[in-house]
Structure 1
């Protein structure tokens, strides 16, 4: 066993116990959890939303909106065993399509987990990101989202809102500085 493996094994044996998130009762605001409210915030962040009836509609929409895509990967196509592969094998992914668990109207964020995407780096290494979210999974505020998430069920989860952007360098807006250059959300239902 290498020293790296020994260190990782020791860390794995000494994980803290999972605990439930604190109650946020009474802290939620009056933001509506509607598709219209979510769309307004998402588009303000630079994202795009499409309402669809079935996931089978996604390839045609992507072909129209992003005609130059070369490599498109759906998280459902990646096997759980892929997690031990080199993440650099995904460096040329033009579009990643991942499932979202919860959408939040107040900030346009969507909760995704390692359980659904299988490879943590996928939504960050791709050029463009598409998230598929059931309409009934839209919530008004982050408070409700935390109540729904409860105790963490997987090793990794993240809220993603809008395409990656920063204005740190010379106060100039840069898209895709530390993640996808664009975000498209497909709401099913």
Structure 2
């Protein structure tokens, strides 16, 4: 028996005999909008604060055209030369992803296009599971991340997020809040230092 087993055994043996119910935790969302339009506006505001971009579709504009417009000045190469890994039917990519791909094989992806399960207005975060990612590493190794988000799937805060059942059958869940960033060096904020250089959210049902 290890020292760890000894310690845990002692804790179990000396656990107080009581049956106290878990305390009720408030949702802390009474100060946030409760309607879909209000939540979408707050999400866009917080997303911008974290360095992301909310790119709403104009009248008659498709997702593919919006994607090109949003990244026109960020790619550093002609859009036609970009390696695009798309997991959404709205955008035709040129790099297919399969769940048997080695994570390192997506190192050269310029643009990853994914649909988020939901968004969080309080932080401007988007949620993915392995079902949306296919290759989990693509959300980190791609140069630019483009996220389709149904505005009706935006919750107020993390308390509400954890009440959802999205995690029940997921083996992997991640929240992304803006592009990669660091301010470790002389307090200077640098975006795209250790992950995606940009994160663009396109509201699309």
Q: Which interval holds the TM-score relative to the shorter structure? A: 0.7 to 0.9
Q: CA deviation at 1:143?
A: 0.7
Change beyond 3 A, Cα 1:149–1:28: farther
CA change 1:150–1:95 in 2 (3 A) is closer
Report if the CA contact (8 A) 2:55-2:70 is conserved: no
TM-score of the two chains, using structure 1 as the length reference: 0.78
In the other structure, the counterpart of 1:164 is 180
Q: Secondary structure at the match of 2:56?
A: strand
The two structures, once aligned, show a CA RMSD in angstroms of 2.4
Choose which of 36, 48, 53 in structure 2 pairs with 1:48.
53
Tell me the matched-pair count: 165
Larger Cα-atom Rg: 2
**RCO higher in structure (CA 8 A, sep ≥6):** 1
User: In 2 relative to 1, CA 139–53 (structure 1 residues): closer, same or farther, beyond 3 Å?
Assistant: farther
CA offset at residue 175 of structure 1? 1.3
Normalised by the size of structure 2, how large is the TM-score? 0.72
Aligned to 1:114: 130
- Map 1:86-101; keep pairs closer than 5 Å: 86-101=102-117
Q: 1:71 aligns with which of 66, 70, 83?
A: 83
Check conservation: 2:116, 2:147, Cα contact below 8 A.
yes
User: In structure 1, what is the Cα distance between the partners aligned to 2:134 and 2:58?
Assistant: 25
Which one has the bigger helix percentage?
1
- Structure 1 portions without partners, runs of 5+: 1-21
Q: Does the aligned pair in 1 maintain the 2:67–2:146 contact within 8 Å?
A: no
| TM alignment of 1:20-35, pairs within 5 A | 25-29=25-29, 30-33=31-34, 34-35=39-40
Which residue of the partner structure matches residue 36 of structure 1? 41
